[in-house]
């Protein structure tokens, strides 16, 4: 029997949706059918098993999606999971552009959610690439070579914070942009803060 226990704190997200309103409502009910708990995190509906995030719903200009936090661990026999960018390691999306697409994969979506819950219960973790495996921008390496305090502060950061900085520094094509990003971030690194703190 469907539970559909909605969280009133999340209602505003669905009520304000100008685009994807019908799709969001259908996804909400499908996900709640699996017994997950609804919460609002990062300004979007997030669905949890106990205290662990399993999936969230979010919308973009061209599509709406269900994002699986540990999607990289799902088997995906239907080949419908999408890695948003090459740098996303754990999360995977299933994207939709209309209600018909959701209805078409309803059973599959529920099966994937149940598999995601089973993965969470099992305690399996996603194996993340080490920060040392990410490309180091030449501009940042020069600063590390010259400043031992900066080097110590950077390597004292959590691996996730190190990865975020390395991706932030290496993504621009122009050296001047990379250098600017490095210089703006140095005070944060020295304070032991991450890129988004």
Q: What is the pLDDT of residue 28?
A: 96
Query: Domains in the chain, please, with CATH?
Result: 8-122 (3.90.1150.200), 131-190 (no CATH)
Q: In the predicted model, is pLDDT for residue 197 greater than 90?
A: no
pLDDT over 70 (residue 131): no
Q: What's the rounded Cα separation, in Å, for the pair 122 and 105?
A: 25
Joined together, the tokens standing for residue 193 give 């803060």
Which range is least confidently modeled, 87-91, 129-133, 180-184?
129-133
Instruction: Show Cβ contacts of residue 16 under 8 Å, excluding neighbours closer than 6 positions.
Output: none
What would the mean pLDDT of 151-165 be, rounded to a whole number?
Answer: 90
- Mean residue pLDDT of the chain comes to 91
The β-bridge partners of 37 are 48
Question: E-strand spans in the chain?
Answer: 37-41, 44-49, 52-59, 64-68, 92-96
Please report the pLDDT score of residue 1 as a whole number: 41
- Residue 19: pLDDT over 50: yes
The share of the chain scoring above pLDDT 70, in percent, equals 97
Predicted local distance difference test score (pLDDT) of residue 78? 92
Q: Residue 116: helix, strand or coil by DSSP?
A: helix
Q: What percent of the chain has pLDDT over 90?
A: 74
> In terms of Cα–Cα distance, which of 3, 65, 66, 73 is closest to 34?
3
For the chain, the farthest-separated pair of C-alpha atoms sits apart, in whole angstroms, at 64
- pLDDT confidence tier of residue 29, bands split at 50, 70 and 90: very high
Residue with tokens 């088997």: 75
- Say if CB 172 and CB 181 are below 8 A apart: yes
Section 182-194 average pLDDT: 94
Supply 21's token pair. 């309103």
**Residue 68 pLDDT > 60, yes or no?**
yes
Average pLDDT over residues 104-116: 97
Of 61-75, 82-96, 122-136, which range is least confident?
122-136
Report d(CA 75, CA 112) in Å as an integer: 8
């Amino acid at each position: 029997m469907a539970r559909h226990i909605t969280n009133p704190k999340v209602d505003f997200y669905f009520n304000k949706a100008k685009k994807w309103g019908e799709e969001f409502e259908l996804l909400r009910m499908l996900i709640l059918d699996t017994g997950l708990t609804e919460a609002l995190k990062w300004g979007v509906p997030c669905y949890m098993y106990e205290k662990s995030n399993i999936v969230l719903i979010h919308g973009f200009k061209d599509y709406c999606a269900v994002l699986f936090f540990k999607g990289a661990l799902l088997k995906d026999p239907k080949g419908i999971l999408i890695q948003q960018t090459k740098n996303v390691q754990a999360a995977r999306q299933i994207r939709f552009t209309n209600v018909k697409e959701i209805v078409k994969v309803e059973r599959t979506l529920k099966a994937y959610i149940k598999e995601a819950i089973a993965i969470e219960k099992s305690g399996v973790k996603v194996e993340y690439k080490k920060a040392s495996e990410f490309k180091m921008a030449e501009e940042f390496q020069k600063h590390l070579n010259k400043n031992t305090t900066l080097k110590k502060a950077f390597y004292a950061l959590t691996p996730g914070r190190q990865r975020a900085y390395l991706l932030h520094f290496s993504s621009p094509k122009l050296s001047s942009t990379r250098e600017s990003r490095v210089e703006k971030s140095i005070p944060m690194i020295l304070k032991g803060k991450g890129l988004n703190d």
